[in-house]
Structure 1
Amino acid sequence: MQTALAQRSSAGWGNGLLGVIIFSGSLPATRAAVGGFDPIFLTSIRATIAALLGILFLGLLRQPLPKPQDIVSLVIVAVGVVIGFPLLSALALTQMTAAQSLVLMGVLPVSTAIFAVLRGGERPKSLFWVFSGIGSLVVAAFALSQNAEGSLLGSLYMFAAIVICGLGYAEGATLSRRLGGWQVISWALVLALPVMALSAVINAPVNLPDSSSSAWIGLAYVSVFSMLVGFIFWYRGLAVGGAAGVGQLMLLQPFLGLMLAAVLLQEPVSSTMMVATVAVVACVIGAKRYA
């Protein structure tokens, strides 16, 4: 029995880690994409592209329609991770660098854990909240230390994105136990498709960026990997290993994303950013132990 539980836990954390690795490129890719696309259009078109892929998968694999009692949860997932987080993070990235936004992402595991308790009925131990709280305080201190022009507005956008994303993660994790991880994100995309497709048409730019532009590469990444493929592993990991515990793997995302931002976007990564990121990542060890 214990061996089976250990294997299940390992599978959950393994899938979650793969999801985090894929998501680590999301903010650098979004930063590249907003260099050529309006944030509202970017949010709409990435969801539309991912929804069309989701419909293809659902049709080819002959998936049954979700039950009526699952619709509300799917709407919450759609609002959280299909619309809310992509739009708010895109707006944030017009005010700050991808490196700054990635450090703020250290708060996301706490947001996910809170909603895992409220929506998923999970009950982490008291010390779990101590380690998660320390991580969030480090992130808050870093955010307050940034006094560059526009960074406060960007931080507010990013924190709002993190709150609504945590809700979408926790709700999707609970629903994935019944529907499956990739089915949850696919159906959520389908529900959002009419609004997102209409918005994409209305907000389409008159002059599209040059075809060789990095904006197109960023759009392709966030549409396929950030909006769909990453969730296949992420929701399975949250469902199997527990949203509160596995959600702490998001503490690794700033570390991985900072490296990508430095390598791909040539953005400066200050010593303050690195210290904050290392401190936040260290908190996952204690949080995992008591999740």
Structure 2
Amino acid sequence: MDDARKGFLLGALGVVIFAMTLPMTRLAVGDAGAPQLPPGFVTAGRAALAGLLSIAYLLAVRAPRPARRHLPALALCAAGTVVGFPLFLALALRDVDAMHAAVVTGVLPLGTAVVAALALRQRPSLGFWACALLGCALVLGFAAWSGGGGLVAADGLLLAAVASASVGYVAGARVSAVLPAQQVICWVLVLSLPFTAPVALALWPQAPASGAAWLGFGYVALFSMWLGFFAWYRGLALGGVLRVSQVQLLQPFLALLFAVPVLGETLQPLTLLFSLAVIAVVAAGRHMPVGRPA
């Protein structure tokens, strides 16, 4: 199997893991009528727990410390993926359901592609951008339909989460080109521990939360914040950030499917039609040329 196909498959595995983040975060924080764990605690606590697991992993594999030149990119990755994305997402999910959040955050592949094109000085073809924009239009059209004809106030937080993740993904992918992907996310989490551990302890929930809320917290700590990135960053490094990032167009629809058994939300037939259309766009985008300027 060539690197491009392997990268695409690893990226798809990461997306499946990440698609559960929305319903599991909703389980963890609850809603405005029945709040569970505080959003700030979920954000810092999941990163702190994953950071402790990362220390054990790095010691087990005897990973060398990252070079000083990699620290800025690791810090930027931490700001986007450890702090920005989970915090904005958790705050928004207090006011909107997981299905609405899933479709709004569906613009993440386009955000990642734009950041990658600027940061990595790549020059995608017009066909690639056409596929990315078409996929984005499909996602936003679905968001407008499911939101009753327009966006809501919490969408600003969701779009801030998208911007944070886009920057963090590209920064992490750059380091993953020279370091093993699993070590990249581990170092990001370990370097964040001096911030995340004290904040998690300070925001430890005072009110009791349900077992389902703690289950959601456990998932986003172990899978969303840690193991999912093992596959995701390796996929970006092997298959290319611009190309592999487009598989995330499927993430909102996978999140919608997962929200049905996890949260009991209702899946509309039109969702399946949009999903098929997005799958077709992603497949077409994979075959569009992506190169660097001469």
Query: Aligned residue for 1:8?
Result: 3
What do the CA deviations read for 1:149-174 (whole angstroms, capped 9, x no partner)?
x9612211111101110111111111
Deviation at 1:281, TM superposition (A): 3.3
The aligned counterpart of 1:3 is: none
- Secondary structure at the residue paired with 2:123? coil
SS of structure 1 residue aligned to 2:95: coil
Q: CA deviation at 1:274?
A: 4.2
Tell me, yes or no, if the aligned pair for 1:105 and 1:251 is still in contact at 8 Å. no
* Distance across 2 between alignment mates of 1:154 and 1:276: 23
Task: Give the Cα–Cα distance (whole angstroms) in 1 for the partners of residues 160 and 168 of structure 2.
Answer: 13
Report matched runs for 1:194-233 at 5 Å: 194-210=194-210, 213-233=211-231
Structure 2: segments with no counterpart, 5+ residues: 31-35
Q: Aligned AA for 1:43?
A: T
> Unaligned regions of 5+ residues in structure 1, if any?
1-5
In structure 2, what is the equivalent of residue 270 of structure 1?
268
Q: 1:159-174, aligned counterparts within 5 Å?
A: 159-174=159-174
Report the aligned-residue RMSD: 1.7
CA distance in 1, matches of 2:154, 2:280: 25
Identity of aligned residues (%): 40
- Per-residue deviation, 1:256: 1.6
**Residues 38, 197 of structure 1: alpha-carbon distance in 2 compared, 3 angstrom cutoff:** same
Q: Distance between the aligned counterparts of 1:277 and 1:202, measured in 2?
A: 41
* Aligned match of 2:190: 190
Comparing 135-144 with 111-120, which one deviates more in the overlay? 135-144
In the other structure, the counterpart of 2:239 is 241
Q: Return the TM-score normalized by structure 1.
A: 0.92
Deviation per CA, 1:64-100: give whole Å up to 9, x if none. Answer: 1111110100001001111110111111111111111
Deviates more, 1:76-85 or 1:123-132: 123-132
> In structure 2, how many angstroms separate the alpha carbons of the residues matched to 1:223 and 1:159?
22
- Equivalences, count: 283
- Decide whether the 8 Å contact of 2:144 with 2:151 is kept in 1: no
Partner Cα distance (1:111, 1:197) in 2: 30
TM score, norm. by length of structure 2 = 0.91
2:257 is aligned with 1:259: yes
Structure 1 stretches of 4+ moved >6 Å: none
Counterpart in 2 of 1:68?
68
Cα displacement string for residues 2-28 of structure 1 (whole angstroms, at most 9, x for unaligned residues): xxxx61111111111111111111111
Find the aligned partners of 2:225 and 2:208 in 1 and give their Cα distance: 22
Deviates more, 1:102-111 or 1:270-279: 270-279
> Are the counterparts in 2 of residues 100 and 273 from structure 1 also a CA contact under 8 Å?
no
Counterpart CA distance in 1 for 2:118 and 2:100 is 29
Counterpart CA distance in 2 for 1:273 and 1:122 is: 33
Q: Deviations over 1:179-218 (max 9, x none)?
A: 11111111111121111111111211112314xx210110
Deviation of the 1:144 alpha carbon: 3.8
Whether contact under 8 Å (1:103, 1:277) holds in the other structure is no
Range 90-99 or range 274-283, more displaced: 274-283
Q: Which residue identity does 1:196 align to in structure 2?
A: T
Shift of 1:177: 0.9
Q: Does 1:117 align with 2:112?
A: no
The one-letter code sitting in structure 1 at the alignment partner of 2:98 is A
Q: Following the alignment from structure 2 to structure 1, what is the Cα–Cα distance between the partners of residues 273 and 119?
A: 33
Give the CA deviation at 1:284. 0.8
Question: Are the counterparts in 2 of residues 42 and 219 from structure 1 also a CA contact under 8 Å?
Answer: yes
**Deviations, residues 218-266 of structure 1 (Å, cap 9, x unaligned):** 0110000000000000000000100110011111112221111012211
Matching residue's letter, 2:260: A
* Residue in 2 that maps onto 1:31: 26
User: Equivalents in 2 of 1:215, 1:151: separation in Å?
Assistant: 27
The CA distance in 2 between the partners of 1:119 and 1:151, in whole Å, is 29
> Does the Cα contact within 8 Å between 1:96 and 1:151 map onto a contact in 2?
no
Distance 1:252 1:142, change over 3 A: closer
Worse overlay, 55-64 or 232-241: 55-64
Asked whether the equivalents of residues 258 and 269 of structure 1 are also in contact (C-alpha less than 8 Å), the reply is yes
